[in-house]
């Protein structure tokens, strides 16, 4: 499959960004921290997604990674990111329970934008996970399941980066209402959210105007898409995220927690 390495282990071999970018941001050698990101967030609050992405590419070069979940926001980010740099470093977390439609849009984005998303996988297969923690962990302890299949692989994906970029928006959930354009991720790097001020309508208008490939599940009642085991379609008018971990009270997978949970399992 073009652009995708399928190596074993927890991360596929990066296909490629390499190269170098000129760093013409605010400083050349400053240490990133909470104070730095607070200042940037204030200054950049009114910036457009394109301006934010151009700045990020310039500021962080090949130390910037774009996280893709292959939902609508990811499609927009891939489109913008590819327009800002030919050396886009993109990655995704393959929980091994993604929908077929998610892999389909991944492949369409690879084809259209020539991206080379690196796949990060959990250390445990679902079979091994069941052996160690019992069957259907996504029902008995979804936080632990997400920790194993998402949070820990993300930690690996972020190692060596100075910044990562996400598609979160403020109106997606109450937990995201105060997200900022630039944030300090307690994992020890900068987090950039170029779409944070956009509405869902903004995203869909942009996709339509630019004919950007998107996940077909969005047309089938899935406004938010995660794993097959714990994502369901929602009825019109329902909370867009109510189809995630339905009935468990869980609303986030832990990737965007201000304080990442300590690993509560051993392998």
- Active centre residues (catalytic): 253
Alpha-carbon Rg for the chain in angstroms: 18
Residue pair 209/77 in contact by the 8 Å Cβ criterion = no
E strands present in 113-192: 118-120, 163-165, 182-185, 189-192
Candidates 49-57, 165-173, 205-213, 227-235; binding stretch for ligand SF4 (CB under 6 A)? 227-235
Residue pair 76/205 in contact by the 8 Å Cβ criterion = no
Is 145 a binding residue for ligand SF4 by CB under 6 A? The answer is: yes
Interacting residues with ligand SF4 between 231 and 260 (CB under 6 A) = 253
Is 151 a binding residue for ligand SF4 by CB under 6 A? The answer is: no
Is 146 a binding residue for ligand SF4 by CB under 6 A? The answer is: yes
Q: Looking at beta carbons only, is 130 or 174 nearer to ligand SF4?
A: 130
By CB under 6 A, the count of residues binding ligand SF4 is 13
Candidates 6-14, 49-57, 58-66, 141-149; binding stretch for ligand SF4 (CB under 6 A)? 141-149
Site string for ligand SF4, 65-104 (x = CB under 6 A): ------------------------------x-x-------
Is 136 a binding residue for ligand SF4 by CB under 6 A? The answer is: no
34-70 burial by CB neighbour count: b if 16+ within 10 A, else e?
eebbeebbeebeebebeebbbbbbbbbbbbbbbbbbb
Q: Looking at beta carbons only, is 78 or 137 nearer to ligand SF4?
A: 137
Is 182 a binding residue for ligand SF4 by CB under 6 A? The answer is: no
Minimal CA–CA distance to 91: which of 193, 13, 206?
13
C-alpha span between 143 and 87 (Å, rounded): 34
Q: Cβ of residue 222: shortest distance to ligand SF4, in angstroms?
A: 13
Q: Cβ of residue 146: shortest distance to ligand SF4, in angstroms?
A: 4
- CA torsion through residues 98, 100, 102, 103, sign: positive
**CA–CA distance from 51 to each of 113, 159, 189, 195, 201 (Å)?**
20, 26, 20, 11, 20
Residues that bind ligand SF4 (CB under 6 A): 95, 97, 138, 142, 145-146, 149-150, 226-227, 229-230, 253
């Amino acid at each position: 499959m073009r652009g995708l390495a399928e190596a074993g282990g927890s991360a596929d071999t990066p296909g490629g960004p390499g190269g170098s970018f000129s760093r013409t941001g605010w400083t050349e050698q400053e240490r990133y921290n909470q104070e730095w990101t607070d200042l940037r967030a204030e200054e950049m609050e009114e910036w457009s997604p394109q301006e934010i992405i151009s700045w990020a590419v310039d500021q962080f070069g090949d130390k910037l990674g774009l996280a893709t979940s292959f939902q609508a926001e990811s499609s927009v980010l891939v489109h913008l990111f590819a327009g800002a740099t030919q050396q886009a470093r993109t990655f995704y977390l393959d929980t091994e329970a993604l929908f077929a439609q998610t892999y389909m849009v991944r492949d369409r984005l690879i084809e259209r934008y020539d991206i080379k998303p690196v796949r990060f996988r959990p250390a445990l297969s679902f079979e091994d996970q069941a052996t160690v923690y019992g069957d259907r962990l996504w029902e008995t302890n979804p936080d632990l399941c997400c920790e194993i299949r998402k949070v820990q692989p993300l930690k690996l994906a972020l190692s060596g980066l100075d910044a990562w970029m996400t598609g979160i928006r403020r109106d997606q959930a109450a937990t995201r209402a105060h997200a900022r354009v630039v944030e300090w991720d307690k994992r020890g790097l900068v987090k950039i959210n170029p779409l944070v001020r956009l509405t869902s309508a903004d995203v869909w208008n942009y996709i339509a105007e630019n004919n950007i490939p998107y996940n077909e599940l969005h047309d089938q009642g899935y406004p938010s898409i995660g794993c097959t085991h714990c994502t369901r379609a929602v009825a019109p008018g329902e909370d867009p995220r109510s189809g995630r971990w339905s009935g468990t009270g869980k609303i986030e997978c832990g990737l965007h927690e201000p304080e990442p949970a300590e690993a509560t399992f051993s392998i």
